[in-house]
Amino acid sequence: MALYRYRCNAHGAFDLTTPIGTAPATAPCPGCATASARQYTAPMLGRGADTAMSLIDRTRATADAPAVVSAPPRRPASQRTPLAPPNPALRRLPRP
List residues binding Zn ion (CB under 5 A): 8, 10-11, 29, 31-32
Which residue, among 55, 6, 52, 9, has the nearest Cα to 32 in the 3D structure?
9
Distance CA 33, CA 35 (A): 6
Distance CA 93, CA 24 (A): 87
Shortest Å distance, C-beta 33 to Zn ion? 7
Nearer of residues 33 and 45 to Zn ion, judged by Cβ: 33
Nearer of residues 11 and 53 to Zn ion, judged by Cβ: 11
Shortest Å distance, C-beta 29 to Zn ion? 3
